[in-house]
């Protein structure tokens, strides 16, 4: 490891939003005067903007360093010290976390600004902004944390903010339930994640290295046996599956759309849900050491990408379509990191942050105009009414569908190419993603055509529709620039440019594990195939939703079973409910409490034994069996067990 450079401003990146949270959270007042409202959003927006400026500053400082020595650290104090083990509160910035920090603060700031317009007039204005700031602080801790413990702190923190913001409008029980669902599903993932941490910690400790710092874990990873590494990777990835909504733990994300739309944009599209991808990239040295784990990650990602994309085709709620699209795009990122193309995965993460945030904010703008209507079947013809929203939405759609030269094209193409050519890749993997790309293009253009083109389907709603205020459209425009141009930093080498992005990340995540050498011509052929499916999707959507509009209905009628299956999201929610939710409730309520504690001990064991004695010895007939006796009996049983154990 190169000697790290101390950069004491790093702590302010998460600290500024935290201060914003404290001011707005503790100073909350019920009566919102215009002056107070202004003060709330000024504080809330300035905090992430300050973080953004520091991140840019740190980034330029990083660029000024030699490629191998690009690491800034800031140790605030020793957090936990036990024996020969210490965990410091250390923030560290390397190219990987630098990219993440810039995305989080940059996109985050724009979404804060947009929220001023979107949340205007909400009764819980300060609560909203304080949660949002807290989220920023936690996400930045996650990204900047120099050890696993800080990463975990941020991991849990963003989760909490997410639950609170999903259930933000808790007056609606369905929305509060969505928050709970997100919480429950994530706990399952987090449990695996924690186990992975412990296993890693312990097995390194067995070799005499008690550490949780990323740097020293990387140094000592060769001490671990392959089986342990695979187990650790799979457990850690379980956490990623929860947080980044991969099969089978993706079910919470579509429901998470119950929160305010800017929240969906920031947390459930651009930043938090990508934490799993970041974590895998951060722990790349572990994953790369286990072929099985790599294949597992890649295939989980690929199957999720296709599966979620197909669900997206049949959804009619504008936010649900985008949610399934997010799940699907996260799948792409996991394929990227799963085939060892970490730079490609993170690259897609970055471009996705731009275009998906833009899509959500555009959707929010549409909902704003339509009086919170989310059903795309009631929209249509909004192109003229909301030009800003429309054009920015088009940019984002072109980006996500992979049309050159928009950002999504470069990043997705890179992942597609790597999924074929990398050491961990295969034709099958590529084919799954390729089909998914076609589906993506189809459902995105379906969304665009239904929302913005054609005739208005609901005249009343259409009449009231209007363009959003500048405070919302300006962030849209800025994000659109990002969505259009962000891809330019990662133009593949086969085009004759230097892939700047890959070069920047290379010192952290290492170069690509090269498979069979393939010529540039083949690579260009694959690029052509990618572009072709994007156009195919566009064409199909045009045919179905603008040209012959009765066709979808007819197809849905003809393949009713299949349509029902996809429309109901493959009944996964119902399956989970029957398999897990109800049995666990029953176990707790009916068995452990009523039967075990109250029933088994009191009635079964105690009374049963009493009956035994009654039958066997008539002289003990009058034995009294009540509460206290039952309790004492349990003690005696425990006592006999202990003494029996000690004596035998």
Partner 1 sequence: MGIDSLPAALSVIRPELILAVTALVCLALDLLYKPADKMPCWAVAFFGSLAALASTIASWGTEQEAFSQLVRMDNLSNFFAVIFLMVGLITLCLSDSYVQREGLPAGEYYTLLLISMTGMVFMAQANDLMTVYLGIEIMSIPVYVLVAMMSKSPKSPEAGLKYLLLGGFASAILLFGIALLYGAVGTTQLADILRQAPGALKASDPLFLAGVGLLLVGMGFKVSLVPFHMWTPDAYEGAPTSVTAFMSVAVKAAGFSVLIRVIVLSLSPMAVDWSQIFWWLAVLSMVLGNVVALVQENIKRMLAYSSIAHAGYVLVALTTGTETGIHAALIYLFIYALMNLGAFGVVIAVSREGDQGVEIRDYTGMARKRPLYALAMAVFMFSLAGVPPTAGFIGKFYAFSAAVKAGYVWLAVIGVLMSAVSAYFYLRVLVVMYMKEPEAGAEYSAGPWGAPIGAGVSVSLWVCALSILFLGIWPGWLSHFAQQALQGLTSLL
* Interface ranges with partner 1 (CB under 8 A): 28, 77-83, 85, 149, 152-153, 156-157, 160, 164, 167, 170-171, 176, 179-180, 183-184, 187, 190-191, 194-195, 198-199, 201-202, 205, 210, 587-589, 592-593, 596-597, 601, 627-628, 630-632, 634-635, 637-639, 642-643, 645-647
CA dist 326 and 353 (Å) reads 10
Shortest distance (Å) from residue 636 CB to partner 1: 9
- Which is closer to partner 1, CB of 152 or CB of 452? 152
139 neighbors 16 (Cβ within 8 angstroms): no
Structure tokens at 10: 């790093």
Pick between residue 556 and residue 637 the one whose CB is nearest to partner 1: 637
- 530 with 372: CB under 8 angstroms? no
228 vs 226: CA distance, rounded Å: 5
Other C-beta atoms closer than 10 Å to the C-beta of 240 total 30
CB of 530 to partner 1, least distance (A): 42
| Residue nearer to partner 1 on the CB measure, 35 or 646 | 646
* Residue tagged 């979808």 (tokens): 552
Nearer to partner 1, 171 or 550 (CB): 171
Nearer to partner 1 among residue 543 and residue 593 (C-beta): 593
The Cα 205–Cα 211 span in angstroms is 8
The minimum distance between CB 602 and partner 1, in angstroms, equals: 9
Q: Residue 529: phi, psi to the nearest 5? A: -60, -40
Burial class from Cβ neighbours inside 10 Å (0-12, 13-18, 19+) for residue 629 reads: middle
The answer to whether 48 and 140 have CB atoms below 8 angstroms apart is: no
Q: Which is nearer to partner 1, 259 or 338 (CB)?
A: 259
Dihedrals phi, psi of 145, to nearest 5 degrees: -55, 135
Q: Is 224 exposed, middle or buried (0-12, 13-18, 19+ CB in 10 A)?
A: buried
Residue 362 C-beta: closest distance to partner 1, Å: 29
| 511, 513, 515, 517: CA torsion to nearest 10 | 20
Shortest distance, position 193 Cβ to partner 1, whole Å: 10
For partner 1, give the closer residue by CB, 181 or 446: 181
CB of 104 to partner 1, least distance (A): 19
335/420 Cα distance (integer angstroms) = 11
Nearest approach in angstroms of CB 587 to partner 1 is 8
Closest separation in Å from C-beta 58 to partner 1: 23
- 3-class SS of residue 158: helix
Give the position of tokens 């069979």. Answer: 516
What is the nearest approach in angstroms of partner 1 to the Cβ of residue 272? 16
Q: Smallest gap, in angstroms, from Cβ of residue 591 to partner 1? A: 9
Angle at 246 between CA 240 and CA 247, to 5 degrees: 130
Label the pairing between strands 85-93 and 72-82: antiparallel
Element (H, E) at 472: helix 470-485
Nearer to partner 1, 130 or 499 (CB): 130
Q: 247 — alpha (psi -120 to 50), left (phi > 0) or beta?
A: beta
What's the DSSP call for residue 9? T
Instruction: Give 29 or 517: the residue with its C-beta nearer to partner 1.
Output: 29
Measured CA distances, 140 to 98, 132, 194, 400, 458 (Å): 10, 12, 20, 26, 43
Minimum gap (Å) between residue 646 Cβ and partner 1: 4
What's 2's DSSP letter? Answer: P
Which of residues 179 and 537 has its CB atom nearest to partner 1 in the complex? 179
Rounded CA gap, 6 and 73, in Å? 5
Least Å distance between CB 325 and partner 1?
28
Using the minimum distance from each CB to partner 1, give the nearer residue, 151 or 363: 151
Nearer CB in complex with partner 1: 91/406: 91
**Of 357, 341, 300, nearest in space to 515 by CA:** 341
Q: Using the structure block, give the residue that is written with the tokens 């049983």.
A: 637
């Amino acid at each position: 490891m190169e000697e790290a450079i101390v950069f004491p401003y790093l702590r302010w990146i998460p600290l500024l939003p935290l201060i914003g949270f404290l001011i707005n959270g503790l100073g909350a007042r019920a009566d919102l005067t215009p002056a107070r409202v202004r003060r709330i959003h000024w504080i809330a927006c300035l905090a992430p903007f300050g973080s953004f400026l520091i991140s840019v500053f740190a980034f330029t400082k990083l660029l000024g360093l030699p490629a191998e020595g690009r690491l800034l650290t800031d140790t605030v104090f020793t957090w936990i010290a036990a024996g020969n083990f210490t965990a410091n509160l250390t923030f560290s910035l390397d190219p990987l976390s630098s990219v993440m920090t810039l995305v989080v603060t940059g996109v985050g700031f724009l979404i804060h600004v947009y929220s001023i317009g979107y949340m205007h007039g909400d009764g819980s204005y300060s609560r909203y902004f304080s949660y949002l700031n807290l989220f920023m602080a936690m996400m930045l801790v996650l990204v900047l944390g120099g050890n696993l413990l800080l990463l975990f702190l941020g991991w849990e923190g963003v989760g909490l903010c997410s639950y609170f913001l999903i259930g933000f409008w808790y007056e609606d029980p369905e929305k509060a339930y969505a928050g709970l669902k997100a919480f429950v599903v994530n706990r399952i993932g987090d449990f695996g994640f924690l186990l992975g941490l412990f296993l890693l910690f312990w097995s390194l400790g067995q070799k005499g290295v008690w550490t949780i710092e990323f740097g020293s874990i990387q140094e000592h990873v060769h001490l671990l046996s392959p089986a342990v590494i695979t187990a650790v990777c799979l457990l850690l990835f379980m956490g990623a599956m929860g947080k980044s909504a991969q099969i089978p733990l993706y079910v919470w994300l579509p429901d998470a759309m119950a929160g305010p739309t800017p929240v969906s944009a920031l947390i459930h599209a651009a930043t938090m849900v990508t934490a799993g991808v970041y974590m895998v990239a951060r722990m790349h040295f572990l994953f790369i050491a286990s072929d099985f784990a790599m294949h597992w990650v890649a295939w989980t990602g690929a199957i999720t990408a296709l599966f979620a994309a197909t669900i997206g085709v049949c959804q009619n709620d504008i936010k649900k379509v985008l949610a399934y699209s997010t799940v699907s795009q996260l799948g792409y990122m996991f394929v990227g990191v799963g085939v060892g193309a970490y730079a490609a995965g993170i690259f897609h993460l970055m471009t996705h942050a731009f275009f998906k945030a833009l899509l959500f904010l555009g959707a929010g703008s549409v909902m704003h105009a339509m009086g919170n209507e989310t059903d795309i079947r009631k929209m249509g013809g909004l192109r003229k009414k909301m030009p800003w929203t429309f054009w920015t939405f088009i940019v984002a759609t072109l980006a996500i569908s992979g049309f050159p030269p928009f950002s999504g094209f470069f990043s997705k193409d890179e992942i597609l190419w790597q999924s074929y050519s990398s050491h961990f890749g295969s034709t099958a993997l590529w084919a799954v993603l390729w089909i998914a790309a076609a589906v993506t293009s189809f459902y995105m253009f379906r969304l665009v055509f239904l929302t913005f083109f054609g005739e208005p389907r609901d005249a009343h709603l259409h009449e009231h529709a209007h363009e959003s205020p500048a405070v919302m459209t300006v962030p849209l425009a800025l994000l659109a620039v990002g969505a259009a141009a962000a891809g330019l930093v990662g133009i593949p080498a086969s085009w004759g440019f230097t892939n700047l992005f890959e070069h920047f990340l290379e010192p952290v995540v290492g170069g690509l594990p090269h498979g069979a050498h393939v010529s540039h011509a083949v690579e260009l052929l694959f690029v052509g195939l990618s572009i072709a499916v994007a156009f195919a999707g566009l064409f199909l959507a045009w045919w179905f939703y603008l040209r012959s509009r009765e066709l979808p209905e007819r197809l849905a009628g003809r393949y009713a079973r299949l349509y029902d299956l996809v429309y109901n999201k493959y009944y996964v929610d119902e399956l989970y409910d029957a398999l897990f939710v109800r049995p666990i409730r029953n176990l707790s309520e009916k068995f452990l409490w009523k039967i075990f504690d109250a029933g088994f001990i009191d009635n079964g064991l105690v009374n049963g034994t009493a009956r035994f004695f009654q039958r066997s010895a008539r002289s003990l007939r009058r034995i009294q069996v009540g509460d206290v006796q039952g309790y004492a009996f349990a003690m005696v049983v425990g006592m006999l067990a202990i003494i029996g154990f000690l004596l035998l």
